[in-house]
Structure 1
Amino acid sequence: MLESVTSRALESALDGLSMRQKAIANNIANINTPGYTAERVSFEDALAQSVANGNGSVQATMARSLEPTNEDGNNVNLDTETLSNSTTVLQYQFASQAENQVLTSVRAVLKDA
């Protein structure tokens, strides 16, 4: 009953962003590994579609990057990973704060009931 589209969407976003954080860390750890191709996590388009359909629950997907590779077959770009990490951290903080607000609201309603 307390499950709303908003809370499911925030939970899905937090899960996807967490998965992206792990992928970024893995990419950076393998920056010098020959033949390694960067991992990319996506969920935003599916999440927007799910929210529009009144659900809000999605699973993030991971795929290998199709970006051009270096001579050793590795395509990890430290600048790209650093920027993606900064963006992901900010998005995670925002979603976490929004989820906290939802829980605070629910607690307030239950307290008054």
Structure 2
Amino acid sequence: MFDDVSSAAMRVALDGLAMRQRAIADNIANVETPGYRARKVKFEAALSTAISAGRSPFEAQPTVEQSLEPTRLNGNNVNLDQETLSNIDTGLRYQLALRALDGRYDTLRTVIRGN
């Protein structure tokens, strides 16, 4: 009941988005650290592929990659504007996924109560 494809996909998405939020926070914290390379978290394509192929969404694990964006003179490639926008986008996606999952659980609670 709790392991249907939709619920599993939402939980995987929440994990990936939480990991992305941590990477963004690390990137912003290191915006002036010489030699620091921004990290990017990717999971959407792997999740979509797993679902399309009929496999478990749990097979789609987030990956962390270093950004290949050009660096400044100090070797750092964190773009504060880009990270700020990404943080807002990720936060909104997290809220949406959380509300979708919560809605599924609300429906189950209603059915269990018999209302």
- Is the TM value for this pair above 0.5? yes
Structure 1 gap segments, 5+ residues each = none
Are 2:90 and 1:110 aligned? no
* Aligned residues with identical type, % of pairs: 51
Deviation at 1:50, TM superposition (A): 1.5
Are 2:82 and 1:56 aligned? no
Structure 2 gap segments, 5+ residues each = none
49-58 or 64-73, which deviates more: 49-58
Aligned counterpart, 1:45: 45
Computed over aligned residues only, the root mean square deviation of the Cα atoms, in angstroms, reads 1.4
TM-score by length of 2: 0.92
Deviation per CA, 1:7-54, whole angstroms, max 9, x where unpaired?
110000000000000000000000000000000000000111112123
Runs of 4+ more than 3 Å apart: none
Deviation at 1:105, TM superposition (A): 1.5
Letter in 2 for 1:13: A
Letter in 1 for 2:28: I
Distance in 1 (alpha carbons) for counterparts of 2:89 and 2:108: 29
TM-score by length of 1: 0.94
1:81-92 pair list within 5 angstroms: 81-92=83-94
